[in-house]
Structure 1
């Protein structure tokens, strides 16, 4: 289920990158990112900007196969160490990728690693890649983090689709997300209708927008639910309530992390 338009995704790539740049401005770029402990803030930023450039190259060239990183201009980051150079590099990469996606439109056929071979996939993926990593940066810099409700909801739904795709593809962790008679409810307390019921069947899991009694329910503001669901925030805390079998929620989070 895609809830945003192609143009909106392109807008969000720019907006989320601008918000990321704002977090990085004045921050200690050598600080470790708690949710990605192998990276510093600078390395996180280069990862995001590199992903933008990689996707931009796929879209611009209408690539039918994966594009090796070595063939993507500028993917390794700016040549200068100055924070200003990193900021400009991030802005330029996001703008170029958004422009390429707008020019291609949502239905141009290109290579992807997933269920859809259309540019619409990349517009959505780069939006939520940036949403999630902006949260990583905000946590590392101890900066505030907010995201629009429709973007947060779509982040949850895209991740559900990715986990479902991984399960169908035989990912060993996602394959364990099964077992009849159990269910997980996500319930936003600040956005009407923002509720998702995940049901574990013998062959796998399914999900739908619904409010029903579940084995475990996680309730809280939509942004906080999204952050927990993407493992950027612990489920136990002042802003999120877990009711029922908390081990089932942990079971989901552990097996939808993909390392």
Structure 2
């Protein structure tokens, strides 16, 4: 369950998007995005804004099946974007999605790509989709990425929930190779408030992937600032980069990150 309210998630969609506007002002949007190979910054942000509009339309129409998404998958027309045009366009799309989600409320039934089937899914998913793509753009342009603690905690919880869905075993059959005895992973944020309980255990010893917020001994432990842990599980940062401490079976960590497709 999300630690952020529906209203807060709606607000964060707009707020996280608006943080992109000063970042891209006067920037070279043809800069490549290393974490999204084949895209430049302008294309990345057209993808984000197009996806937000797609989500708004699903919720607005109470769609019962997925809507076409080619408009934010084929990014070839957006190779040379103008920051003065792209900034307002991004804010407009994020505002549209946030307003649509607020008007619908969290419990309205709509199509979702995973079990659940309510607008609450899109509020949470697009909050963290926006966060991660803001990180992509921020890092590509050589700036520092920062994120509020409660948003980062919820983003990691959501990643754990979506990444451990059993449905992935049918779509990504290689994920079954993760399961085995003595395969546990502990993630520990080093910069959070004492009461944040910012520790996660991923348990691969059963028939499905399980996770919990807990402090436990594991086959491999990863210690890093909270935002760095988030970027690590999304494979935006290397698992053995600066500021990340890995204790124990580093090969298990690498194997896990390679096999978990979400993100």
Please report the TM-score for the alignment, with normalisation by the length of structure 2: 0.91
**Is 1:39 equivalent to 2:39 in the alignment?**
yes
1: CA distance between counterparts of 2:12 and 2:175?
Answer: 29
Change (3 A) 1:71 1:59: farther
Equivalent residue pairs, number: 256
Match of 2:198 among 191, 194, 197: 194
> Any idea what SS the aligned residue of 1:21 has?
helix
Runs of 4+ in 1 over 6 A off after TM superposition: 75-78
1: CA distance between counterparts of 2:101 and 2:127?
Answer: 12
Change (3 A) 1:59 1:28: same
Q: Which has the higher strand share?
A: 1
Quick check: 2:159–2:262 contact (8 Å CA) kept in 1? no
> How far 1:71 moved relative to its partner?
9.0
Quick check: 1:185–1:217 contact (8 Å CA) kept in 2? yes
The superposition leaves residues 32-76 of structure 1 with CA deviations (integer Å, 9 ceiling, x where unpaired) of 10111210000000000001000000011111111113699xx99
| Alignment match, 1:13 | 13
2: CA distance between counterparts of 1:152 and 1:173?
Answer: 28
C-alpha RMSD over aligned residues: 2.1
Quick check: 1:108–1:119 contact (8 Å CA) kept in 2? yes
> How far 1:169 moved relative to its partner?
4.2
Q: Which structure 1 segments of 5+ residues have no match? A: none
Q: Which structure 2 segments of 5+ residues have no match? A: none
Alignment of 1:114-133 (within 5 A): 114-133=114-133
> How far 1:172 moved relative to its partner?
1.5
| Alignment match, 1:178 | 179
Quick check: 1:77–1:89 contact (8 Å CA) kept in 2? no
